[in-house]
Amino acid sequence: MDWRRASAAEQGRAIMAGLLDPVDQTEAYLAAIQASPYAKRIYARVTASRARTESIAAHDRNRAGLRRSLLDGVAISWKDNIDSAGTPTEAGSRLLKGRKPAHDAATLKNATAAGTVCLGKTHMTELAFSGLGLNPMTATPPNALDPALAPGGSSSGAAVSVAMGLAAAAIGSDTGGSIRVPSAWNGLVGFKPTHGVTDSRGVVPLCRKFDVVGPLARTVEDCALLLAALRGEAPVDLRGARAQGLRLLVLDGVPFADAQESPVAAFEDAVDRLARAGSQITRITPAFLPQAMALSPQLFAPEAYGIWREQIEAAPEAMHPPILERFRGGKEVSGPDYVAAWEALNRYRAEWAALVAGHDAVILPTVPILPPDADRLATDQEYFVTANLLTLRNTRIGNLMGLPAATIPTGQPGCGLMAMGAAGDDRRLLRVSAALEAALA
């Protein structure tokens, strides 16, 4: 069996049963990374010494019957905006070149305490401010389905490291879709927790009011285990999760505007399969959603520019022009307009909660388009801007409404089904996601 492409949970069980040695498996990943022609486009830095030390410790714990979690000894990758002690963490930006934190981020510290092995830091889009995964300033990972296509971002290298068998799972971050987009475009499960569910200490910020760390993996079970490791708690029990009887709301309207045929067809086919599995399907079109979505320019860019203005304006030439333009768009929004936008968004969040109460999840296509051609994105700025906005449109709904959200493969390449749960009820959404995954497998 090719254990490198097994799920993280399967690897953990094999280690526990003595079928897989964490030292050997870590060495297999390190060798695969070294041999991959795409390695330097996926990993910004490989932490081989740390990985070997951690895998030896996991080996010793397993022999002594002292395993810390099911993921003890399982090797994962980390997005390059999550601090790791003594290793450059540059968030995909030349503005932060040479930045070397002294301490692990809180999430990495927790995951290490659970026994996971850190393979290294993965490439990402500049300061996490794009959903396409293109980064001409550092590196653009290939799409695992087709290297000529955009990988999705901003957790681009995170997704590709898993999809190409160069990590058992990955940790990324999500501000407007940065976990779910690359997961969907690379055939993975991605889970965006509710904002604040995972600790943000030691994470290079984009928008503190939206940023959240979460997992990208092969299965919902892996995501549940990883979320527990990030939080330092016991994972949710997924046993018995079934699609039969689930009350699902299909979000019509905004998510389907200007969508391509393939993602819509894949989604509708998935909805049909869920209905046949016994889920109760209702369709809704919230009248207030377009107004809520229209608040985005007043919320994301002003905060991002406020955080990074000094560094950006000191060296604007160090940034890819479309990303620079996105940041600078924030300086046109006044303080009162920013506050008013948040006041309005909080009202819309209350309307959303009332509308969807009593249902298990709201479902929609994860991304309304397929991965675009990477070369065209690099040379056509207008195309880049248009594609980026459309790419992040559906995922951003979950961020704006303050919800946990998961993307699950539909079975069609590059097409995911997204499920959004109630704010703060992440564990329940993981059970719902496990049920959807089983029905769509």
* CA trace torsion 422, 427, 433, 439 (10° rounding): -120
Q: Which is nearest to 117 in space by CA: 220, 28, 218?
A: 28
- What does the pLDDT look like over 203-240, one tens digit per residue? 999 999 999 999 999 999 999 999 999 999 999 999 99
- What does the pLDDT look like over 290-338, one tens digit per residue? 999 999 999 999 999 999 999 999 999 999 999 999 999 999 999 999 9
pTM (two decimals): 0.98
Q: What is the enclosing helix (H) or strand (E) of 181? A: helix 180-185
pLDDT interval class at 248 (50, 70, 90): very high
Instruction: Classify the C-alpha dihedral 133-135-136-139 as positive or negative.
Output: negative
Question: Do the Cβ atoms of 409 and 416 come closer than 8 Å?
Answer: yes
From the list 7, 55, 155, 178, the catalytic residue is: 178
Q: What is the DSSP letter of 7?
A: -
- What does the pLDDT look like over 386-399, one tens digit per residue? 999 999 999 999 99
Q: What is the pLDDT of residue 1?
A: 77
Q: What is the pLDDT of residue 326?
A: 97
433 annotated active-site: no
- What does the pLDDT look like over 340-374, one tens digit per residue? 999 999 999 999 999 999 999 999 999 999 999 99
36 annotated active-site: no
* Distance in angstroms (rounded) separating the CA atoms of residues 143 and 150: 6
pLDDT averaged over the chain?
98
Same fold: 3-231 with 247-294+325-440 = yes
- What does the pLDDT look like over 158-199, one tens digit per residue? 999 999 999 999 999 999 999 999 999 999 999 999 999 999
Q: Which is nearest to 265 in space by CA: 122, 363, 114, 368?
A: 368
Instruction: Classify the C-alpha dihedral 249-426-129-407 as positive or negative.
Output: negative
Q: What is the CATH number of domain 247-294+325-440?
A: 3.90.1300.10
- What does the pLDDT look like over 62-108, one tens digit per residue? 999 999 999 999 999 999 999 999 999 999 999 999 999 999 999 99
From the list 77, 154, 155, 433, the catalytic residue is: 154
Q: What is the DSSP letter of 370?
A: P
What strands, in cross-sheet order, belong to the sheet with 212-217? 43-46, 117-122, 75-79, 170-174, 212-217, 189-192, 405-409, 416-420, 361-365, 247-251, 280-284
* Distance in angstroms (rounded) separating the CA atoms of residues 265 and 275: 15
Residue 13 in tokens: 């069980």
* Distance in angstroms (rounded) separating the CA atoms of residues 111 and 229: 5
The whole-number average pLDDT for the span 426-434 is 98
- Domain ranges for the chain: 3-231, 247-294+325-440
From the list 77, 79, 161, 173, the catalytic residue is: 79
* CA trace torsion 111, 116, 122, 127 (10° rounding): 0
Domain 3-231 top-level CATH class: alpha beta
154 annotated active-site: yes
